[in-house]
């Protein structure tokens, strides 16, 4: 076998396609291996560069292969697609992964630790339960509206819907009342599970200094801090805060040509959970500014005088991302910006 410098791996549940290449890019081998065969093969082959798509199971295999001496690089699937040649199959995918990994300007995904993936499961499970509860509340509201009963949107108004279902004097038919009670029971169960997960999030957030540090910034709570610590790569990868904001998709999309700069809406290209939570946190700061008179004289207050709240929220989320980068890289808590006093 020729000296192999890189192995491209197309991951799957049971069958793995591997593509080995030498220094000059020539093909050293192409193999289709089962899961046990793949584990044995990667232990026996000399340590080299191993490239995989950042898909389901990739972070586990990255840890396993790194443990036996390989250098592992994970690539976002969208960056692999341009290297595919005509036909799309497992062998072509593995070859494209190997070619993409050799590009000097290629961007890679940082492999996650088992602890990071465990925190991600807690975060995703809570998000899923909240989504399921919202679906059930909306279903209950729409069912009762068919009989002329309505309530404002929001989980805080669920008690009004429950009163309609439980009150004997309403003209709700028995079959509908029975089905609505089942929905209320499911909503109550999910609410308890969501509270338990929120307690778990709070427990996790107090264990690390980074989470405590992030929560000193207005608009960042335990869930936002958990998302940043779980899904964001090491901040040392970014040269400046603007690069982190760009990674989150909080910078304008460019469509420039011929020396003419054209900027559009934000790119939304990065990690959507962190971006969504930062924008939600920014909206809480804006509400506090408009409704309770907080942050008077600050940049937020001045922007709200001339721009729509949602636009200000996205701009503030961008500033928050830059501030988070500075806080983590410098190991400092959040510091309130100085207020300019107009003469």
Q: Note the pLDDT tens digit of each residue in 160-205.
A: 999 999 888 788 899 999 999 999 999 999 999 999 999 999 888 8
pLDDT confidence bin for 341, thresholds 50/70/90? very low
pLDDT confidence bin for 328, thresholds 50/70/90? very high
Tokens read off for 5: 């410098």
64-110: pLDDT as tens digits? 999 999 999 999 999 999 999 888 899 999 999 999 999 989 989 99
Q: Which residue has the higher pLDDT, 291 or 339?
A: 291
Tokens read off for 157: 């108004």
- 4/48 Cα distance (integer angstroms): 7
- 214/260 Cα distance (integer angstroms): 39
Contact call for residues 229 and 113 (beta carbons, < 8 A): no
Report pLDDT for 183. 96
Report pLDDT for 338. 61
Burial of 165 (0-12, 13-18, 19+ CB in 10 A): buried
Does 140 have pLDDT greater than 90?
A: yes
Largest CA distance in the chain: 84
Burial of 203 (0-12, 13-18, 19+ CB in 10 A): exposed
Q: What are the backbone dihedrals phi and psi of residue 253, each rounded to the nearest 5 degrees, phi first?
A: -75, 135
Residue 215: other Cβ atoms inside 10 A: 18
- 288 Cβ contact list (under 8 Å, min separation 6): 218, 294, 295
pLDDT confidence bin for 2, thresholds 50/70/90? low
6-101 CATH: 3.30.420.40
Does 342 have pLDDT greater than 60?
A: no
- 232/211 Cα distance (integer angstroms): 13
- 267 Cβ contact list (under 8 Å, min separation 6): 246, 249, 251, 252, 253
Contact call for residues 302 and 312 (beta carbons, < 8 A): no
Report pLDDT for 1. 53
Does 296 have pLDDT greater than 80?
A: no
- 266/247 Cα distance (integer angstroms): 11
Tokens read off for 235: 């901040």
Question: Which of the listed ranges 35-44, 244-253, 334-343 does the model predict with the highest average pLDDT?
Answer: 35-44
| Mean local confidence (pLDDT), 54-73 | 94
- 95/99 Cα distance (integer angstroms): 6
Strands 263-266 and 252-254: antiparallel
Does 151 have pLDDT greater than 90?
A: no
Contact call for residues 197 and 176 (beta carbons, < 8 A): no
> Does the pTM of the predicted model rise above 0.85?
no
Report pLDDT for 340. 53
Strands 252-254 and 27-34: unpaired
b or e along 310-333 (b: 16 or more beta carbons within 10 Å of the residue's beta carbon)?
eebbbbbbbbbbbbbbbbbeeeee
- 26 Cβ contact list (under 8 Å, min separation 6): 2
CA angle 102, 106, 111 (to 5 degrees): 95
Does 257 have pLDDT greater than 90?
A: no
112-139: pLDDT as tens digits? 999 999 999 999 999 999 999 999 999 9
Mean pLDDT score of the chain, rounded to an integer? 89
């Amino acid at each position: 076998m020729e000296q192999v410098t890189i192995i491209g791996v197309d991951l799957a549940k049971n069958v793995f396609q591997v593509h080995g290449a030498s220094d000059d890019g020539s093909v050293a081998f192409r193999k289709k291996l089962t899961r046990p065969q793949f584990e044995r093969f990667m232990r026996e082959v000399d340590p080299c560069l191993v490239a995989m798509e950042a898909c389901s199971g990739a972070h586990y295999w990255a840890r396993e292969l790194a443990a036996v001496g390989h250098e592992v690089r994970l690539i976002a699937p969208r960056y692999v697609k341009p290297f595919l040649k005509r036909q799309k199959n497992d062998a072509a995918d593995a070859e494209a992964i190997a070619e993409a990994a050799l590009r000097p300007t290629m961007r890679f995904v940082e492999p996650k630790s088992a602890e990071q993936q465990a925190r991600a499961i807690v975060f995703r499970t809570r998000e899923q339960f909240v989504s399921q509860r919202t679906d059930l509340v909306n279903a209950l509201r729409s069912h009762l509206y068919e009989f002329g009963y309505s309530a404002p949107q929001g989980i805080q108004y669920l008690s009004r819907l429950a009163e309609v279902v439980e009150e004997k004097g309403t003209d709700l038919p028995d079959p509908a009342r029975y089905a609505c009670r089942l929905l209320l029971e499911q909503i109550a169960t999910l609410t308890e599970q969501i509270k338990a997960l929120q307690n778990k999030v709070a427990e996790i957030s107090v264990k690390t200094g980074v989470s405590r540090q992030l929560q000193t910034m207005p608009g960042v709570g335990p869930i936002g801090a958990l998302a940043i610590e779980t899904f964001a790569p090491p901040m040392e990868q970014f040269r400046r805060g603007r690069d982190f904001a760009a990674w989150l998709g909080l910078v304008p999309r460019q469509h420039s040509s011929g020396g003419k700069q054209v900027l559009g809406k934000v790119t939304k290209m990065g990690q959507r959970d962190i971006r969504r939570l930062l924008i939600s946190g920014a909206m809480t700061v804006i509400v506090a500014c408009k409704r309770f008179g907080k942050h008077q004289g600050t940049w937020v207050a001045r922007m709200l005088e001339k721009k729509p709240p949602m636009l200000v929220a996205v701009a503030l989320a961008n500033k928050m991302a830059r501030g988070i980068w500075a806080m983590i890289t410098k190991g400092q808590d959040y510091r309130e910006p100085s207020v300019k006093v107009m003469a």
